[in-house]
Amino acid sequence: MSADFNTNVLILGKTGAGKSTLLNYLYGQNMVIGKAGSPETLKGFHKQQPFTYRGLAITVYDSWGLEADKTEEWRGLLREELERVDALSVRDWFHTVIYCLDAKASRLDDFEKREIIEKLLEGGVRLIFALTKWDLCSVAEKEAAIDLVTKNYPSLDYVPICSISKKLRNGTVTKPQGREDLFCAMCLNLRTNLVAKTHRLAREKLNEALEKAQNKVLEYYDEETGPLGVFTYYDDELLDKMQKKALKVYPKKSSEVAAYLNDNYAEINALCSQVIASYTGKTIDIEEFQNIIAGEIFQTGIEAWDNTWAEDFATIITTFLSGGLFQFAKKSLYKDKLKAGLKKISERLQQRLQEWIDDEDKTENRLKTLYLQYLKD
């Protein structure tokens, strides 16, 4: 990994939820989030000055105030930001998203749930809830805060946080707490977040690639059958040309998606290893853990998905192009059959990718369990 590789942390939450104090507690930085500038200049997402923490380069992003009267503007800004980030490489994504929730208030407004949290989840972004001001909460308030998160978002992590030392009315002095627990949650959430996003984008990229492949084959069909005339003569020579064209175009497009998966996993492995080392002080070799769990299955999985579908390809395309048609027929009839066959091939490719993703998700769950034990030892 190059020295300029950053881990990107997006911190969200309503005004007064304790975002700045949390960041200062986590990283020892004198950061002020969402305080300076006019309402207009505060709109959108803001990249803070990168800094180094325990040898790890970190970039914090914060956002315009999350208030109910800004719902419409927030919706558009969030959509634009998620689309922008999706188009970038792994190193430019939001690696960790922390949602600061005032535990003493113990409430999430409808607009927070609907327009912020749920929209992020729909975009493949997982959150960690930081339950701030934990030291000021009564037992009942703590239970209410945990109940709020676990009932609404049972699959998401939460960490109680006390960011600064305070002297309470009864004379008790609270101590900051929760940093190591939050760092551990960030390490575990990081990989889950990035792998899930990679899988979602891989499916989208495959769909786009298959559409392009189909269009190229159909364009070639039009070229070979000529611009004039309603009818065409479909013989073995044309069938052979169509097979060769399809077998040239489809593997190229699917290989682009396989390369995307390989590149992303390499980046994710490197990033996770570095973040874990910086946040916990532990050295971990993600690839070694993968080999322990999956052996050669993980290493060859992407290549297997990319190659094995071709075994069925020639049979499929021959069947739908030659089965039951007259030798001399309407060009549109053959083209419709061609489209139907290409659709079958696309569906098969999509199915194979999903099968690989399902297997990989099982491996990731085992991997997460393994290095959770490692981090806590």
User: Tens digit of pLDDT for each residue in 2-23?
Assistant: 445 689 999 988 888 888 899 9
Instruction: Tell me the C-alpha to C-alpha distance, in Å, between residue 359 and each of 7, 346, 369.
Output: 27, 20, 16
Distances (CA, A) of 139 to 142, 148, 156: 5, 14, 22
pLDDT digits over 157-212, tens only?
999 999 887 766 776 777 889 999 999 899 888 888 898 889 999 999 999 999 99
Average pLDDT over residues 110-124: 85
Q: Is the pLDDT of residue 305 over 60?
A: no
Of residues 7 and 374, more confidently modeled: 7
The DSSP result for 112-171, as a single string, is IIIIIIHHHHHTT---EEEEE-GGG--HHHHHHHHHHHHHH-TTSEEEE-B-S--B-TTS
Confidence of residue 40 (pLDDT cuts 50, 70, 90): very low
214-262 per-position pLDDT tens digit: 999 889 888 887 765 555 656 677 777 877 888 788 878 878 888 888 8
Q: Under DSSP, is residue 248 helix (H, G, I), strand (E, B) or coil?
A: helix
CA distance 252 to 246: 10
Query: Among residues of the chain, what percentage have pLDDT more than 90?
Result: 21
Inform me whether the pLDDT recorded for 122 exceeds 50. Answer: yes
Average pLDDT value for residue range 76-84: 79
Pair of tokens at residue 240: 């052979």
Contact yes or no for 119/101 (Cβ under 8 A): no
pTM for the structure as a whole: 0.82
Structural domains present in the chain: 6-177 (3.40.50.300), 198-376 (no CATH)
Whether 286 has a pLDDT exceeding 70, the answer reads no
Mean pLDDT, the chain, whole residue set: 79
CA 8/CA 93 separation, integer angstroms: 7
Q: How far apart are CA 283 and CA 192, in angstroms?
A: 19
* Angstrom distance (rounded) from CA 163 to CA 132: 7
Bridge-based pairing of strands 51-53 and 6-13 is: unpaired
